[in-house]
Amino acid sequence: MPGRMIQLGNSTRGALSRERDVREAYAAHSGELYGFAARSLGDAGLAEEAVQETFVRAWRAGDRFDPKIGSLRTWLFAILRNVVIDLGRARAVRPAVAEGGIEPSVEPLDEALTAWQVEEAMRRIGDEHRRVLVETYYRGRPYAEVAEELGVPEGTVKSRVYYGLRALRVVLEEMGYED
Amino acid sequence: MKTRNDCREWRELLGAYALGHLEGDEKIGLEAHLEGCDQCRGELASLQPVAQMLPHADPARFGPAPQPPPDLGQRIAATIAGEDRRLQQRRRRRLFGGFALGASTAAAVAAVLLLFVFGGSEQSPQQKVEFADLPAGITIDATLEPHSYGTEIHMYVHGVPSGTLCRVWLRGANGASYPAGTFRYRWGDDSDAVLSSALDLSRTRALVVDTGKRTFVAPVDRSAAALQTANKEEPT
């Protein structure tokens, strides 16, 4: 559909005001945004709604996005966060749907964001690193047992835990995490 | 283990230490090393926040991430294109509102642009309707959009007394009128009234607006409507 590539809107509008910019932003960030929306809302349909609303709001407010202040990704996540809060509130007043849903307050959403960040980072680090972190930390298994199962010295398991945490840190920073 | 003097060997224990997994001599030895090693203390400080985030995550979710449905991007693009179209219509009205004749040139250019930009199969082509005999100070602006159920009508009225009840019809080729509904004009409201009629756009010959005191009739261009029908029937 070549017509779609034509620049739309007034040229005085900002970085995300053109349809093409939205398409590029969607291609770059929709996966992550959807992942977080699905994680925090716990519902695929609502997650779609949230991602759609995020890009529409971003497009409407396109002239307010300033790349000097923060990345497009950070800005989109900030919008999504508000959308998720709105959807959570909307769902809270519809009890039939709200069962087992999220609380519409901010605190659980921040927890959901942290959880999603770690889970996403875990997906991006190497298999060996993830494996030792899952076995030793999440399953609480002794290092010696894990070492035996993997056929490596116990010291190697310890060093993999160290390099795994470091890799997580690097990936989290890439995802915008700051201390 | 006690003989570790290589900083790297101590450093590689920092992960297990940050997770609280180190015990006995190894823990004591590492803590002694940390006392005297700025680098390792710095490294530990960078791992601790990560270790503190781990309990929030659910290891059952470390598998492949859920993906958005493949057509979501298209749906978002269509929503934005629709909103952009409405925004541009409104902007044109603000620029040319009250100068119906001057607006017609801009509208013609815009209509060509709209047909070009939104000429794809997903977007219905719109048809602009001109009211030629309006009294000074009154603006009526309308666009018609073909649908399978009939015709969608976007009306914008300006200049009649606030609260005026406006009734709208489409007139067919045989002279019969098909009601499209009513709306009330309010001062300061710059929004479109969206109405619909069961009459097909290709068979519509006129748009009629009754404001109570007066009735305005605008011809609907038959050739443009016929062209749109032809386009609609083309296989995509």
Q: Which residues 150-189 of B have a C-beta within 8 angstroms of A?
A: none
Chain B residues with beta carbon closer than 8 angstroms to that of A8: 81, 84, 117
Q: Shortest Cα distance from B73 to chain A (angstroms)?
A: 7
Q: Shortest Cα distance from A60 to chain B (angstroms)?
A: 9
Q: Is the pLDDT of residue B78 over 80?
A: yes
| pLDDT for the residue A135 | 97
Q: Show Cβ contacts of residue B196 under 8 Å, excluding neighbours closer than 6 positions.
A: B147, B149, B150, B151, B152, B153, B180, B181
Lowest mean pLDDT among A95-109, A118-132, B36-50: A95-109
Q: Shortest Cα distance from A8 to chain B (angstroms)?
A: 8
Q: Do A52 and B76 touch (CB under 8 A)?
A: yes
Class of the CATH domain delimited by A125-179 = mainly alpha
Q: Which residues 115-154 of B have a C-beta within 8 angstroms of A?
A: 116-120
* Residue A93: pLDDT band with limits 50, 70, 90: low
Indicate if B96 and B15 belong to the same structural domain.
no
Question: What six digits make up the tokens of B47?
Answer: 């791992």
- Domain boundary at B41, B61, B81, which? B61
pLDDT in tens, B92-132: 776 665 444 444 555 555 544 444 444 333 344 678 888 87
Please provide the distance, in angstroms rounded to a whole number, between the alpha carbons at the two ends of chain A: 44
Q: Is the pTM for the entire model greater than 0.90?
A: no
| pLDDT for the residue B112 | 45
Give the residue, B41 or B81, on which the prediction is more confident.
B41
Task: Please give the helix or strand (H or E) that residue B181 lies within, else none.
Answer: strand B177-184
| pLDDT for the residue A107 | 55
Kindly state whether residue B107 falls inside one of the protein's structural domains: yes
Q: Is the ipTM of this complex over 0.90?
A: no
Helices marked H in B97-221 — which ranges? 100-117
Indicate if B84 and B194 belong to the same structural domain.
yes
Question: What six digits make up the tokens of B34?
Answer: 């940390």
Q: Is the dihedral of CA A160, A161, A164, A166 positive or negative?
A: negative
Q: Shortest Cα distance from B26 to chain A (angstroms)?
A: 11
Distance CA B159, CA B137 (A): 6
Question: What six digits make up the tokens of A145?
Answer: 């047992």
Q: Do the two domains A2-109 and A125-179 of this chain adopt the same fold?
A: no
pLDDT in tens, A29-84: 999 999 999 999 988 999 999 999 999 999 888 877 877 778 888 899 999 999 99
Write down the mean pLDDT value for chain A.
82
Domain locations in chain A?
A: 2-109, 125-179
Class of the CATH domain delimited by A2-109 = mainly alpha
Chain A residues with beta carbon closer than 8 angstroms to that of B76: 22, 26, 51-52, 55-56
Indicate if B55 and B134 belong to the same structural domain.
no
Task: Please give the helix or strand (H or E) that residue B123 lies within, else none.
Answer: none
φ, ψ of residue B50 to 5 degrees: the values are -65, -45
The SS3 assignment for B129 reads strand
Kindly state whether residue B180 falls inside one of the protein's structural domains: yes
| pLDDT for the residue A10 | 35
- The residue among B15, B118, B25, B122 whose CA lies nearest residue A19 is B118
Number of domain units in chain B: 2
| pLDDT for the residue A70 | 80
- Domain boundary at B19, B38, B61, which? B61
Indicate if B100 and B49 belong to the same structural domain.
no
Distance CA B103, CA B110 (A): 10
Question: Any chain B CB within 8 A of the CB of A143?
Answer: yes
Which domain range does residue B46 map to? 7-61
